[in-house]
Amino acid sequence: MSEQQTDDELRCIGCGAVIQSDDPSRPGYTPQSAVKKGLATNELYCQRCFRLRHYNEIAPVSLADDDFLKLLSQIGQTKALIVYVVDVFDFNGSLIPGLHRFVGKNPILLVGNKEDLLPRSLRRSKLRDWIRQQANMAGLRPVETMLVSAKKNRQIDLLLEKIEKYRQGRDVYVVGVTNVGKSTLINQIIKQRTGVQDLITTSRFPGTTLDKIEIPLTDGHLLIDTPGIIHAHQMAHVLSPQALKLVAPQKEIKPRTYQLNPEQTLFLGGIARFDYLKGQRIGIVAYFDNNLLIHRTKLANADNFYQKHVGELLTPPTKDELTNFPALEQEEFHVHEKSDIVFEGLGWIAVPAGVTVAAWVPKGVGALVRRAMI
C-alpha cells in the first residue's frame, strides 16, 4: 500500500483504529452504512466505540499474536496489576504462551471465568487449586486465583475487591484470549460502576493501532481492557459460527459416564473421536455440551462408520459444512495417572491410570493430556 493510500485511510475518532467493514472481530470494524452516516455527520466511530459511547457496552475485539505480544511487552514496561482471564471450560485454550515473560515483575491476578459451566458437585476450592497448579506449570505465579461467572454475575464484587487489594495505586490491565468472556466481564464491571460511566474512554497505545478501553478507578488510575488474542488452535477456526454455538456449552455440564471395553470408539458428534485402545474394562467420564451427541461403535468399524455417517448421524458439522471441514487426525496417549484427554475448545474425557487411548481432532485443533480436573 502506498503512503498516499495510508494517509487516506479512515480512522475511528474514538480509538484511532483504521476503519474496516470486513471483519467484526477485528479493530476498527464499522458496518458500511455506519461509515456513510459517520462521514456525513463528521463523527466517525468504529462500532466498538459507538456502542461504548451510546450503550456503555463493549464488544469483543481481537488481535493476531504479533500485535498482541507488542502490547504485552508495553504492559511489561509499565507498573500495573495484570488481571488474566481464562475460561475454566477451555483452560488450555486460554493460555497465552509466554505471558510470564512479558508481564515483567507485575503481579498477576488469575481469574477463571465461566465457573457456572462446571458441575456444582465439584468443590470450588479444589478447582481453584487445580487451576493454580496448571498455571504454575505454564510458568505463572499468580498472586491469587479466583473463580467468577461474568454471565451470571457471580463473584464480581469480590473480584473488584481483590483488584483494589492488589493494584496498590497502579493501573490494571485485563488480558485474555478471545472468547474467554473478557468483554462480558468488563461489561459487568462497567455496570457496577455506573456512577462514572460517562468517563469511560477509548484510546490508543502510542505508536500502534491497538485500541484499549479505560475505566477510571477511584484514585485517577485506570482499569484497561485490551483486545483478546486469537489462538491459532481454537475450534473457532474449523467450525462455522452455527456449529460453534452448538458445541459451546451454555449451561452447567452434566458429566456422562461410559463403561468401555478396549477397542471401542466414541464419536463426539462428527467433530472428534475417542478410541479406547488398550487396558481393562474401565469407566470414563465425558465433559461436553449436554446436547453434543456421543455415539459408541467398535474401533474396527469406526473409520467406515465415520465416512458413512459424518454430516448425517454424526453432526455437527452438517452436510453443507463438510466441504470446509478438515479431516480428523489421531494422537495417541499412554496415561499413567488419572487424566483428562482434552479436545481443545470442545471438552474432555476423564480416564483412569494405566490405559492407552487415542484422540482424533480436526487438523489444526489441539488434543492433549493433562492431570484430571475432577
Query: Pattern of binders to ligand GDP over 107-136, x per CB under 6 A?
Result: ------xx-xx-------------------
Neighbours of 174 (CB within 10 A): 24
If the CB atoms of residues 106 and 183 are measured against ligand GDP, the closer one turns out to be 183
If the CB atoms of residues 211 and 275 are measured against ligand GDP, the closer one turns out to be 211
Contact 284, 350 (CB under 8 A): yes
Sole binder of ligand GDP in the list 11, 26, 124, 151 (CB under 6 A) = 151
Query: Of 244, 109, 219, 114, nearest to 173 (Cα)?
Result: 109
If the CB atoms of residues 287 and 360 are measured against ligand GDP, the closer one turns out to be 287
* End-to-end alpha carbon distance in the chain: 53
**Shortest Cβ distance from residue 68 to ligand GDP (Å)?**
13
CA gap 289, 248 in Å, rounded? 6
For residue 38, state whether it binds ligand GDP (rule: CB under 6 A): no
**Shortest Cβ distance from residue 328 to ligand GDP (Å)?**
25
Contact 27, 209 (CB under 8 A): yes
Length of the chain: 374
Number of residues that bind ligand GDP (CB under 6 A): 17
If the CB atoms of residues 210 and 328 are measured against ligand GDP, the closer one turns out to be 210
User: Minimal CB distance to ligand GDP: which residue?
Assistant: 181
**Strands across the sheet containing 328-335:** 294-298, 264-268, 272-278, 355-362, 328-335
Sole binder of ligand GDP in the list 16, 60, 93, 316 (CB under 6 A) = 60
For residue 172, state whether it binds ligand GDP (rule: CB under 6 A): no
For residue 236, state whether it binds ligand GDP (rule: CB under 6 A): no
- CA pseudo-torsion sign 369, 60, 222, 211: positive
Give the strand pairing for 264-268 and 222-225: unpaired
Binders of ligand GDP among residues 266 to 305 (CB under 6 A) are none
For residue 150, state whether it binds ligand GDP (rule: CB under 6 A): yes
**Shortest Cβ distance from residue 159 to ligand GDP (Å)?**
12
Instruction: Give, in order, the Cα–Cα distances in Å from 57 to each of 51, 140, 191, 283, 305.
Output: 6, 31, 9, 46, 47
Query: Pattern of binders to ligand GDP over 173-212, x per CB under 6 A?
Result: ---x-xxxxxxx----------------------------
Output the nine-digit C-alpha cell for 18. Answer: 483504521
Return the amino acid letter for 272: A
Give SS3 for 188: helix
For residue 149, state whether it binds ligand GDP (rule: CB under 6 A): yes
If the CB atoms of residues 279 and 345 are measured against ligand GDP, the closer one turns out to be 345
Residue ranges binding ligand GDP (CB under 6 A):
60, 113-114, 116-117, 149-151, 176, 178-184, 228
